[in-house]
Amino acid sequence: MDIKILGPGCANCSSLEKLVFNVLAELNADANVSKVTDFKEIASYGVMSTPALVIDGQVKFSGVVPSKAKMTEIITEAINRG
């Protein structure tokens, strides 16, 4: 699974990153997590508000840091899809 965190480095971006690692650890899941800070690349995902989360090339959400429950749901779904 390939997870990308989109954001120019705002406070919310780092809290999203922490949340992702938290949930991954809890689910005992393995993923390749990277950060995207370049505006050009962020825009190439059609994202206009940051932070945003991309899993396997698909934008899951943007402009919010979701609740932990929601995050767990999103990542579990991505794992099940393979």
Give me the least distance between CB of 28 and another protein, in Å please. Answer: 26
- Residue 45 binding another protein, by CB under 8 A: yes
Catalytic residues: 10, 13
Answer for which of 28, 32, 46, 82 binds another protein (CB under 8 A) is: 46
Q: Cβ contacts of residue 76 below 8 Å, gap of 6+? A: 27
Burial string for 51-75 (b: 16+ CB within 10 Å, else e) reads bbbbbeeeebbbeebeeeeebbebb
Residues that bind another protein (CB under 8 A): 8, 10-12, 39-40, 42-50, 59-67, 70
